[in-house]
């Protein structure tokens, strides 16, 4: 090829490269960056999963903040709890706060009293028969004589059948926390606890973050007002965790990327001793990162913060291509020689890495798929830039320092050394032993392990949930409907199916939206059951025979019933802005497409689990259309199990592809085994190390192990090439491998410092596994591999 | 035994003071420090009802602040006041109340607990005390100090003999009243 043709081809490559960078830059500029955890929920959920995902993201459960007050003495904790509740109830960001104090529900009590005859489930024709009236009034008189008499005395003449008392009792939570100094406390009395509901959904992290700040500010005020400096605040809950996770992701991403880039730069500078080479070396990295982010942005509509954090690995891997080019050729500008001799090996390495990252695409987790797209696009771009652009950018007289001495030292220490081989074998055997003697299941199948929640937060959450009795809202019944009325009717029908289960103690109780707002049908039926004034007077006269109460005293009751018969029905609008409206909102959901869902939260009897199958059978018998019984824990486990299976299958397929690629390139079964063995050993050592350090392996470790195979195969390939083809500058090749691996270990190793499980797991696994692979590749390479041969 | 002990204590007090029987002396008599056990019969006179309502059962008190009232029969109910909470169990339903949140219940509970424990300080927090009669037959009158409380209860009269409470009469502000007759259990 003539020098002019080469020059023009180079110019074309540079122009294309710059144009691509500009396009990617434009895409990145309009990219939305997110940091919530929705990317780690299923992308294509089943009907059950969809309801669950909606619940987790927007439902009543997502709006809960669990608050604990620790430290100080019981009296000061109670004082802070009261002051905090008062403070929060004034704040529009909070829809409700409960700390065990019962005062202050005047509006709710008035609503219940005013609408008692359409709200009370006990109102039917039987209740207002002579016999029913006699029984109900008799029971009220008994209550009047009891120690609660004082509370019901004023109600007797207007509500002698006790509907208000029945309503208040029905709305009481099934399990109430213990009272310590008048407010809710943990069983041991060492914490005061509050249940706070935010107005914003748990998925709205900005709003959750503001609410959390408001809560903390209110606590500081309450603490000052109650003069309780020794008290401390503990807050958990889904929204709080999302806020903390986002902060953690933002913090980690910036810190890890900076640290990783600085360390790699320092290493390269120390080795090259040339700032120009350093800058050139980062050209493929920056190009790859830009292309990667643009690809994710195009494919997913937004880029997750965790994906950016994963960028550190790209620094570690993409910089390698430039290292191979510079160090192996000894010069930055003359690429033709390298293109012939080394590019096929690098290309094969890129392909195996891509095969590895493809498993991330297949996992079904959008969060992991983003990492896959980012890495694949980034690596391909970085390799292409190294191959087609980098040699043209570097002035041809720029020489790279001869690093043969590093390569020779490395080779002398490792290549073909019997002692080193023995040590490597012992390590592999040790790792296998660690995996075999590991107690309990090797793979952690708990979805929670994927959540970036600190162990301390998780423990606080458990303790607070236990104290608040909020732990067992784990099984729910979801009822699809076309409008609010249908949703309420479905809830009433399902409630009738569940009542026998409550009676037989299969359930301790259930929460139903129809308790707060009965369907119009139910309200009309109750109105129809109320007798006319004359009829009611007549029946009262008979019913009160033998009771110490004269009918004449109950004229206010007769008037109220008469009024209730024709009063307008209670609507959702009437409940707006009250605790009742809030409770209704938490149990009836509707989305933009007009679908409504009524949720019934089930409560387990003390010390027992809910028999979801019995619940399902009862609903089927009652013919409740479309009812879904959701066991949150088992659904989540099933979701995770699904991810795990898909990732496992994808990993096996990925290994198959890597094997096929290697076989196609090597065309020799013996060499194939020698290339595979080192990275297989690397995988075993990485897994064994995790287990030996006490971690249980998650989905993310599985992905990491596959990446060990994908990336590690690059190293064993180079040693295989050295052993078979020879290399006039073998020491340089070895040096480039050592350097490339060092940057890789830096990139992934720094990821291991992250507190985000996905980054930590993948980082620690890949760093350990690739280092082990390089060393084992070197140790088991034939002694002549590192010697210069033509 | 207890009567003897109470008598001995009374004599000791009488000897020490050599004075008339006053609130301090009564409190000293009542402050036995031992658990006590009695039966009761309570009659409530409620205006809206044509006849009074009667309940009966047993009372147990463990100083300084654990009081149990178990009503038996048709209107069976258990009320346990312990420190700052009251637990009421009735017809299979259990309700726990905080006395801090129900001052109107707290004053009733504390008037009884305060008397049984001989806790003058507690009683005087809410009531003005006046004592009449002699050691074998005394009457302690409790009149609410607080106007808000006076809207609920107008007067409580507690009768007793030596260190034992025999009768508690509560007059409510709306004219209803209750009388509880107490007989120490054997």
Scanning every residue of chain B, which has its alpha carbon at the shortest distance from the alpha carbon of A548? B50
Nearest to A179 among B44, B85, B105 (CB): B85
CA-angle at A383, arms to A377 and A386, nearest 5°: 135
Gap between the Cα atoms of A153 and A143, Å rounded? 9
Instruction: Note whether A156 contacts B48, CB cutoff 8 Å.
Output: yes
What pLDDT does A665 receive? 85
CB atoms within 10 A of CB A494: 24
- Judged by a CB distance cut-off of 8 A, whether residue A549 touches chain B is yes
Q: B44 in contact with A at a CB cutoff of 8 Å?
A: yes
Closest-CA distance of chain B to residue A234, Å: 24
Is A146 within 8 Å of B101 when comparing Cβ atoms? Answer: no
Q: Which are the contacts of A689, defined by CB distance < 8 A and separation ≥ 6?
A: A431, A434, A768
- Give per-10-residue mean pLDDT for chain A (790 aa): 69 90 91 74 72 74 88 90 91 85 74 92 92 91 78 85 86 71 83 89 87 95 90 90 84 86 89 87 91 92 83 78 79 62 81 85 82 92 89 74 81 81 90 82 67 78 78 76 94 94 89 93 95 94 89 92 94 85 82 84 82 89 86 77 84 89 88 90 93 84 87 84 74 83 86 84 91 89 68
Beta strands in B21-136 (DSSP E): 36-45, 53-62, 66-72, 77-82, 85-90, 93-98, 127-134
> For residues A694 and A696, what is the distance between their CA atoms, to the nearest angstrom?
6
A100 and B CB contact within 8 Å: yes
Report the residue from B69, B88, B96 with minimal CB separation from A179: B96
Task: Give the end-to-end CA distance of chain A in Å, rounded to a whole number.
Answer: 25
- Inform me whether the C-beta atom of residue B115 falls under 8 Å from chain A C-beta atoms: no
Q: How many CA atoms lie within 13 A of A412 on its CB side?
A: 6
Share of chain B above pLDDT 90, in %: 28
B179 CB near a chain A CB, below 8 Å?
Answer: no
C-alpha to C-alpha distances, A584 to A48, A73, A572, nearest whole angstrom: 21, 37, 8
How far B89 CA sits from the closest chain A CA (Å)?
10
d(CA B57, CA A12): 103
3-state secondary structure A148-177: CHHHHHCCCCCCCCCHHHHHHHHHCCCCCC
| Residues B23, B26: Cα–Cα separation, whole Å | 5
Asked if B176 and A153 come within 8 Å (Cβ–Cβ), the reply is yes
Residue A554 is given by DSSP the state G
CA–CA gap between residue A111 and residue A691 (Å, rounded): 59
- A151 CB contacts (<8 Å, ≥6 apart)? none
Question: Nearest chain B Cα to A156, which residue?
Answer: B48
Structural element, H or E, at residue B156: strand B153-161
Distances in Å between the Cα of A143 and the Cα atoms of A41, A156, A159, A161, A610 are 52, 10, 13, 11, 34
Distance from CA of B86 to the nearest CA of A (A): 10
Q: Say if residues A182 and A101 touch (Cβ distance below 8 Å).
A: yes
CA distance A521 to A540: 27
Burial of residue A122, with CB atoms counted within 10 A of its CB: 0-12 exposed, 13-18 middle, 19 or more buried? middle
Count of other CB atoms within 10 angstroms of residue A112: 20
Q: Which value does ipTM take for this structure?
A: 0.75
Cβ atoms of A477 and A629 within 8 Å: the answer is yes
Calpha distance A584→B145 (Å, rounded) = 44
Q: How far apart, in whole angstroms, are the C-alpha atoms of residue A392 and residue A14?
A: 8
Count of A-B CB contacts under 8 Å: 68
- Residues 6 or more apart whose Cβ sits within 8 Å of residue A313: A375, A747, A748, A751, A762, A763, A766
Query: How are beta strands A32-34 and A302-304 bridged, if at all?
Result: parallel
Question: Hey, of B41, B44, B47, B49, which one would you mutate to test binding to chain A, going by the most A CBs within 10 A of its CB?
Answer: B49
Asked if A702 and A711 touch (Cβ cutoff 8 Å), the reply is no
d(C-alpha A395, C-alpha A505), whole Å: 83
Taking contacts as CB-CB distances below 8 angstroms, the residues of chain A near B71 are 146
Q: Which two tokens stand for residue A564?
A: 């209730």
* Residue from the list A141, A147, A550 with its beta carbon closest to the beta carbon of B88: A147
Question: The tokens of B145 are what?
Answer: 């100090």
Question: What is d(CA A452, CA A455) in angstroms, rounded to the nearest whole number?
Answer: 9
What's the CA gap between A356 and A404, in Å, rounded? 31
The DSSP bridge partners found for residue B160 are: B138, B165
Per-residue pLDDT tens digits for A666-716? 888 888 998 899 999 999 999 999 988 887 788 888 888 988 988 888 888
Rg (CA), chain A: 35
Would you state the pLDDT for residue A9? 79
Handedness of CA A355, A358, A360, A364 (dihedral sign): negative
Contact A28, A296 (CB under 8 A): no
As given in the structure block, the two tokens for residue A202 are: 């748990």
Three-class SS of residue A303?
A: strand
d(CA B16, nearest CA chain A) in Å: 39
**The two structure tokens encoding residue B106:** 């707290």
B180/chain A closest Cα distance in angstroms: 13
> Are A596 and A588 contacting, i.e. CB atoms less than 8 angstroms apart?
yes
CB atoms within 10 A of CB A100: 27
**What DSSP state is assigned to residue A452?**
-
Q: Residues in chain A, how many?
A: 790
A614: Cβ contacts below 8 Å, ≥ 6 apart: A501, A506
Q: How far apart are CA A172 and CA A82, in angstroms?
A: 20
> Distance between CA atoms of A108 and A465, rounded to whole angstroms?
26
Our CA-based measurement puts residue B133 at a distance from the nearest CA of chain A, in whole angstroms, of 30
The full set of domains in chain B, from first to last, is 2-184 (2.50.20.10)
Cα(A58)–Cα(A331) distance, rounded to whole angstroms?
58
Of B75, B101, B176, the CB nearest to A102: B101
**Helix (H), strand (E) at residue A689:** helix A669-692
Nearest to A355 by CA among A120, A654, A692: A654
Chain A CB contacts of B154 below 8 Å = none
Q: Are A698 and A443 within 8 A, CB to CB?
A: yes
Nearest CB partner across the interface for B53, out of A145, A157, A176: A145
Nearest CA of chain B to the CA of A472: how many Å? 20
Distances, alpha carbon A547 to alpha carbons A10, A155, A553, B49, B91, in Å: 107, 18, 13, 9, 20
Q: Which of residues 551-580 of A touch B (CB under 8 A)?
A: 553
Are the Cβ atoms of B99 and A100 closer than 8 angstroms? no
Task: Tell me how far the alpha carbon of residue A646 is from its chain's centroid.
Answer: 18
Greatest Cα pair distance in chain B: 53
Q: How far apart are CA A171 and CA A510, in angstroms?
A: 10
pLDDT at A689: 92
b/e burial code for range B61-75 (CB count within 10 A of at least 16 → b): bebebebbbbbeeeb
Helix (H) or strand (E) holding A784: none
* A379-400 as b/e: b if 16+ CB within 10 A: bbbbbbbbbbbbbbbbeeebeb
User: In chain A, which residue's Cα lies nearest the Cα of B76?
Assistant: A146
């Amino acid at each position: 090829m003539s020098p002019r043709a080469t020059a023009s081809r180079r110019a074309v490559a540079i122009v294309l490269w710059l144009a691509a960078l500009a396009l990617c830059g434009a895409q990145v500029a309009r990219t939305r960056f997110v940091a919530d955890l929705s990317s780690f929920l299923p992308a294509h959920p089943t009907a059950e999963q969809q309801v669950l995902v909606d619940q987790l993201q927007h439902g009543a459960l997502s709006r809960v903040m669990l608050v604990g007050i620790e430290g100080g003495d019981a009296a000061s904790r109670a004082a802070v709890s009261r002051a905090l509740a008062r403070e929060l109830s004034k704040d529009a960001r909070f829809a409700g706060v409960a700390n065990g104090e019962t005062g202050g529900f005047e509006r709710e009590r008035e609503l219940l009293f005013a609408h008692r005859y359409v709200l009370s489930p006990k109102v039917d024709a039987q209740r207002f028969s002579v016999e029913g009236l006699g029984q109900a009034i008799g029971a009220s008189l008994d209550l009047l004589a009891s120690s609660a008499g004082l509370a019901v005395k004023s109600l007797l003449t207007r509500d002698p059948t006790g509907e208000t008392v029945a309503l208040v009792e029905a709305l009481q939570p099934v399990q109430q926390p213990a009272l310590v100094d008048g407010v809710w406390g943990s069983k041991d009395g060492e914490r005061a606890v509050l249940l706070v509901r935010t107005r914003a959904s748990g998925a709205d992290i900005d709003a959750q973050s503001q609410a959390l700040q408001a809560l903390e500010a209110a606590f500081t005020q309450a603490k000052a007002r109650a003069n309780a400096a020794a008290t401390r605040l503990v807050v958990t809950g889904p929204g709080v965790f999302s806020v903390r996770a986002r902060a953690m992701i933002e913090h980690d991403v910036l810190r890890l990327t900076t640290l990783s880039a600085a360390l790699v730069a320092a290493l390269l500078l120390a080795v090259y001793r040339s700032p120009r080479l350093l800058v050139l070396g980062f050209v493929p990295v920056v190009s790859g990162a830009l292309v990667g982010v643009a690809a994710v942005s195009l494919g997913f509509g937004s880029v997750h913060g965790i994906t950016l954090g994963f960028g550190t690995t790209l620094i570690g891997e993409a910089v390698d291509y430039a290292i191979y080019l510079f160090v192996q050729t000894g010069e930055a500008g003359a690429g033709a020689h390298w293109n012939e001799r080394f590019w096929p090996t690098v290309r094969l390495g890129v392909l195996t890495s891509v095969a590895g990252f493809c498993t991330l695409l297949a996992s079904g987790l959008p969060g992991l798929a983003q990492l896959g797209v980012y890495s694949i696009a980034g690596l391909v771009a970085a390799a292409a830039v190294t191959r087609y652009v980098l040699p043209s950018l570097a002035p041809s007289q720029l020489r790279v320092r001869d690093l043969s001495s590093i390569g020779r030292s490395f080779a002398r220490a490792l290549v073909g050394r019997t002692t080193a081989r023995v040590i490597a074998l012992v390590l592999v055997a040790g790792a296998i032993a660690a995996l075999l003697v590991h107690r309990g299941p090797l793979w952690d199948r708990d979805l929670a392990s994927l959540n970036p929640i600190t162990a301390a937060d998780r423990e606080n959450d458990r303790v607070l949930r236990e104290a608040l009795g909020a732990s067992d809202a784990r099984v729910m019944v979801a009822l699809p409907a076309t409008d609010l009325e249908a949703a309420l009717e479905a809830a009433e029908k399902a409630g009738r199916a569940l009542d026998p289960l409550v009676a037989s103690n299969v359930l301790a109780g259930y929460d139903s939206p129809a308790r707060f707002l009965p369907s119009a049908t139910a309200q009309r039926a109750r109105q129809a059951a109320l007798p006319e004034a004359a009829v009611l007077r007549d029946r009262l006269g008979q019913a009160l025979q033998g009771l110490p109460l004269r009918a004449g005293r109950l004229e206010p009751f007769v008037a109220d019933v008469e009024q209730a018969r024709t009063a307008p029905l209670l609507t959702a609008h009437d409940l707006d802005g009250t605790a009742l409206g809030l409770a209704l909102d938490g149990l009836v959901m509707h989305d933009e497409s007009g679908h409504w869902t009524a949720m019934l939260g089930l409560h387990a009897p003390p010390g027992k689990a809910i028999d979801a199958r019995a619940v399902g059978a009862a609903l089927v018998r009652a013919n409740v259309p479309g009812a879904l019984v959701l066991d949150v824990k088992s659904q989540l486990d099933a979701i995770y199990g699904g991810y795990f299976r898909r990732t496992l299958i994808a990993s096996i397929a990925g290994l198959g592809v890597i094997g096929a690629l290697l076989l196609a390139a090597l065309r020799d079964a013996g060499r194939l085994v020698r290339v595979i063995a080192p990275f297989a050993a690397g995988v075993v050592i990485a897994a064994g190390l995790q287990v030996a350090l006490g971690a249980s392996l998650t989905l993310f470790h599985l992905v990491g192990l596959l990446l060990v195979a994908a990336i590690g195969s690059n190293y064993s390939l180079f040693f295989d090439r050295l052993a078979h083809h020879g290399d006039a500058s073998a020491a340089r090749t070895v040096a480039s491998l050592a350097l490339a691996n060092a940057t890789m270990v830096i990139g992934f190793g720094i990821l291991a410092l992250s507190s985000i499980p996905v980054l930590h797991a993948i980082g620690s696994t890949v760093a350990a596994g690739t280092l082990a692979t390089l060393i084992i590749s070197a140790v088991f390479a034939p002694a002549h591999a590192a010697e210069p041969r033509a | 035994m207890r009567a003897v002990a109470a008598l001995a204590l009374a004599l000791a007090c009488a000897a020490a003071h050599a004075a008339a029987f006053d609130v301090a002396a009564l409190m000293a008599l009542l402050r036995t420090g031992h658990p006590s056990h009695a039966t009761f019969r309570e009659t409530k006179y409620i205006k809206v009802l044509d006849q009074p309502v009667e309940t009966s059962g047993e009372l147990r008190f463990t100083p300084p602040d654990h009081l149990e009232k178990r009503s038996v029969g048709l209107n069976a109910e258990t009320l346990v006041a312990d420190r700052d909470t009251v637990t009421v169990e009735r017809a299979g339903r259990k309700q726990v109340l905080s006395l801090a949140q129900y001052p109107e219940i707290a004053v009733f509970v504390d008037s009884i607990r305060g008397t049984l424990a001989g806790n003058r300080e507690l009683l005087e927090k809410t009531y003005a005390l006046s004592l009449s009669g002699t050691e074998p037959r005394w009457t302690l009158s409790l009149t609410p100090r607080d106007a808000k409380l006076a809207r609920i209860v107008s007067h409580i009269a507690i009768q007793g003999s030596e260190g034992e409470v025999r009768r508690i009469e509560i007059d409510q502000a709306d004219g209803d009243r209750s009388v509880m007759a107490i007989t120490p259990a054997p």
